[in-house]
């Protein structure tokens, strides 16, 4: 029996949903934002660079954007309020914004540690606190956090970055425990090596890029568009019984 469009829509359509995507002006965040918009969601982008935000929003037909530094608590809190005031309450929260400061651990300063933890872990916590309880009160919501291979293994000067992503994986489980009984599913996506502005330093080394690609089962490194299907799944009605999970989108990198 052939699948009919109405059935697929009942599973995966995001029509009528508002999605807030941090880091949505580039990289994995932009790839996910494009996918959610394509599935029918009204998408709002949140990132630092206003010019890149405006360009990305125009490319994907986003509902709009708000500029804030994820590592600045006051600015992020103000941005959360601006999102609600201008666009309404998000039904879907995607935390993809991150900084990638990875000095050798012995050279990690408290300043770089604080910046990494604030942007990569505290920001998803604050946004979850802002929107998660209100999603629960409405009886439906989706939280998607972008973690890393370093959430469960040391990899290339993990330092503060690895600690922040490990914490984010744990936060995801806590958000699920708190709000899944009220219809809010919280999950994480863990990339392998993905060629984005965040990995520009590594991407400039063709030997390392080739080695990472060879380690995958599919024989190539990731691209932002590779997260489209998983993101739509986790944002959609189809994931109503999927929560507290960390799903690796890595071409088999994590099991090699």
Active site residues: 161
The first and second tokens of residue 137, run together, are 């009160």
Q: Is 168 helix (H, G, I), strand (E, B) or coil?
A: helix
Nearby residues of 105 by Cβ (< 8 Å), 6 or more positions away: 157, 158, 159
Single out the residue of 202, 33, 22 nearest to residue 120, CA to CA: 22
CA atoms within 13 A on the CB side of 241: 1
- Quick one: how far is CA 91 from the chain centroid? 15
Q: What is the DSSP string of 3-50?
A: --HHHHHHHH--TT-EEEEETTTSHHHHHHHHHHHHTT-EEEEEES-H
3-state SS of 169-183 is HHHHHHHHHHHHHHC
Assess contact for 164 and 121: CB atoms under 8 A: yes
Q: E-strand spans in the chain?
A: 18-22, 42-47, 64-67, 92-95, 141-146, 184-191, 246-249
- Quick one: how far is CA 188 from the chain centroid? 8
Q: Alpha carbon of 74 to those of 169, 189, 199: distances in Å?
A: 24, 27, 27
The first and second tokens of residue 41, run together, are 């969601």
């Amino acid at each position: 029996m052939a699948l009919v469009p109405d059935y697929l829509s009942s599973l995966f359509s995001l029509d009528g949903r508002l999605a807030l995507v941090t880091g949505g002006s580039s990289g994995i965040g932009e790839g996910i934002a494009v996918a959610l918009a394509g599935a029918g969601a009204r998408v709002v982008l949140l990132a630092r660079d206003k010019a890149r935000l405006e360009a990305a929003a125009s490319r994907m037909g986003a509902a709009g954007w708000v500029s804030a530094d994820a590592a600045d608590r006051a600015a992020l809190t103000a941005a959360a309020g601006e999102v609600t005031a201008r666009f309404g309450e998000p039904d879907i929260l995607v935390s993809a914004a991150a900084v990638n400061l990875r000095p050798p651990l012995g050279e990690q300063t408290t300043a770089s540690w604080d910046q990494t933890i604030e942007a990569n872990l505290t920001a998803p916590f604050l946004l979850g606190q802002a929107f998660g309880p209100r999603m629960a009160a409405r009886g439906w919501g989706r939280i998607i956090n972008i973690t890393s291979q370093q959430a469960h293994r040391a990899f290339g000067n993990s330092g503060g970055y690895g600690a922040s992503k490990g914490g984010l994986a744990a936060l995801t489980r806590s958000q699920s425990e708190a709000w899944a009984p009220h219809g809010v599913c919280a999950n994480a996506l863990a990339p392998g090596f993905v060629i984005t502005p965040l990995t520009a330093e590594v991407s400039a080394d063709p030997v390392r890029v080739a080695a990472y690609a060879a380690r995958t089962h599919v024989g190539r490194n990731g691209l932002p568009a590779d997260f489209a299907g998983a993101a739509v799944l986790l944002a959609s009605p189809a994931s109503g019984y999927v929560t507290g999970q960390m799903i690796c989108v890595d071409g088999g990198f994590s099991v090699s």
